[in-house]
Structure 1
Amino acid sequence: MHTTITAATATDMRALGAHLANHMHGGEVILLSGPLGAGKTTFAQGFGAGLGIDEPIVSPTFTIARELDGHFADGTPAHLIHVDAYRLGGTDYAPGQDSVNRLLDELESLGLDEELEEPGTHTVILMEWGEQMAAALADERLEVHIDRPFHATAPDATAADIAVEPTSAGERIVTLTPIGPHWDRFMHDLPDMPATGERQA
């Protein structure tokens, strides 16, 4: 079962991130995916705000992972590990078991493999571009996929034309997919978004 939410604005996207963060307790792995310009960083900013993190949330592309401290809704300490796996696996990255093993080796070298397998009690992992790694390591995870619907801006515009021009403006479609019993319960108990987007189970 998955849930689809329409985020009409960047404010809505941040609100969604904060809404989910407000219901974290520690030990969670969240996989964030979507094309360039989809709004992953915007979501992460809202998520960080929901965890009471004061530091700016930026894409950790060049550092691979950033570790930030805040607090959960009940006031207990929260430790966020924000991972950007885009540059992991080398330039010859391709789907398949060999690439997965290579990616896992790199995660191990960064000390992130054990965190993904078993996050600490106060730790939440938010991973971008890590579909294969998360699937290999995290049996229980919440997959958050963000899509940018294509809107033709000219009579002869095609989806391919628009796809190569990432933009922060415009509506986003966010699909939440729970993997594992914990996340099934989480999504079942999660209150509806206090925003304008529609929610469909």
Structure 2
Amino acid sequence: MIDIETHSEQDTIALGAALGRVLSDGDVLALQGDLGAGKTHFVQGIAKGMGIDEPVVSPTFTILNYYEHAVPLQHFDFYRLEDEYELDDLGFDDYLTRGVTVIEWSEKFPERLPEDAARVFIEKKGLTERIFHFEFNGARWAAAEKEVESYVVSH
């Protein structure tokens, strides 16, 4: 596990951008954190790092925001989902094989996450201070892990 502290929304976005630069087709990130932990800011950074210019907003009410790009970004929010069958209605499993998939409130349906999904736990430490706990699973995450570690060194 790698732990990284951020001290502002800008830091959180910058951390996401560093990670977004090395994500590739089929990557799944499972985010966990309380309301206001910075999950959406982190995803805004990921989109920026991937080269997506359009505004990234929380999909709390839409469940999924899809951002078309060379490698698309699929931003899910499980917060309002009650039953697992709702994922089936969305065709959730079909999204996991292509693009970059980022899931807020992923802990609601942990059994639906791919085994090799990266897990990111965001802990609020103050008004804008956060600790990101990264857990990378498998060889596919070597570049992401290296990028996150180098982010620590440069900040």
Normalising by structure 2, what TM-score? Answer: 0.89
Match of 2:113 in 1: 137
Say yes or no: does 1:189 pair with 2:146: yes
CA shift digits 1:123-172 (9 cap, x unpaired): 0000000225344331111111111125xxxxxxxxxxxxxxxxxx4211
Match of 1:160 in 2: none
CA shift digits 1:145-201 (9 cap, x unpaired): 111125xxxxxxxxxxxxxxxxxx421111001123423x345533510653xxxxx
Instruction: Identify which of 99, 112, 137 aligns with 1:179.
Output: 137
Say yes or no: does 1:148 pair with 2:124: yes
CA shift digits 1:19-69 (9 cap, x unpaired): 000001211000111001111111111111111112111110110001002
Offset, 1:15:
0.6
Paired residues in the alignment total 153
Paired-residue identity, %: 37
Larger helix percent: 2
CA contact (8 A) 1:15 1:195 kept: no
CA distance in 2, matches of 1:56, 1:83: 15
Local SS of the residue matching 2:136: strand
Q: Match of 2:100, as an amino acid?
A: V
Match of 2:20 in 1: 21
CA shift digits 1:88-112 (9 cap, x unpaired): 11xxxxxxxxxxxx31x11110111
Match of 1:85 in 2: 78
Normalising by structure 1, what TM-score? Answer: 0.70
Say yes or no: does 1:111 pair with 2:91: yes
CA contact (8 A) 2:74 2:95 kept: no
Q: Match of 1:81, as an amino acid?
A: Q
CA distance in 1, matches of 2:78, 2:113: 14
Larger radius of gyration: 1
Local SS of the residue matching 1:179: coil
CA distance in 2, matches of 1:63, 1:188: 31
CA contact (8 A) 1:12 1:195 kept: no
